[in-house]
Amino acid sequence: MSARRGTSVALSLVASCFGSTGDKMRTRSLACLIAALLSAVAYVSALAASFGEDDTDALIVDAKVVEVNDQHISVIARTGVEHVIATDAAGTRVTLKGERVELKSLRVGDIVTVELDAQNPLKFAHRIVIGEQAGSAVASARH
């Protein structure tokens, strides 16, 4: 009889956990629904945040320009690392709002995306896209 009694106690505990009454069932269903919705919101938020471009060996995204001259630019990447990148007027294509501009248009404080030349052993800027102009502060023209 002891085994039967243990089985009936276990069954009654399971039934009480899953809510044998209507109120418990609705409460648990609502709690499960809210948990599922919160999980979905967290997943969608994380997914939306990951859609931005990431830095790679050949691409530096949303970097801040800290120095510009005729031979190179220095940028601070989103990770906080400074990169010195070689440039030249003929081989580096600079665009602002979809239009090609001269390298002289690049200013300290600009937010840029730099595409590096993968074939060049140096860090050489193949293409620079200027995201936003930073006021009127002109970069230094050191040689």
Residue 2 confidence (pLDDT): 47
Output the pLDDT for position 64: 94
Question: pLDDT value at position 10?
Answer: 47
Q: Comparing 119 with 43, which gets the higher pLDDT?
A: 119
The predicted structure's pLDDT at residue 73: 94
Distance of CA 71 to the CA centre of its chain: 30
Task: Give the containing element (helix H, strand E) for 141.
Answer: none
136 burial level (CB within 10 Å; 0-12, 13-18, 19+): exposed
More confident residue, 86 or 140: 86
Determine phi and psi for 7, rounding to 5 degrees. -65, -40
- For residue 143, the model assigns a pLDDT of 45
Contacts of 113 (CB under 8 A, 6+ apart): 53, 59, 60, 61, 62, 63, 128, 129, 131
| pLDDT for the residue 22 | 65
CATH class of the domain whose range is 59-132: mainly beta
| Structure-token match 């938020």, residue found | 45
CB–CB of 116/73 below 8 Å? Answer: no
For residue range 68-121, what is the model confidence (pLDDT) as tens digits?
998 999 999 988 999 999 998 888 999 998 899 998 889 999 999 999 988 888
Q: What is the pLDDT of residues 5-35, one digit of tens each?
A: 444 544 454 455 555 566 777 788 888 778 7
* Separation of first and last alpha carbons in the chain: 97
Higher pLDDT, 1 or 96: 96
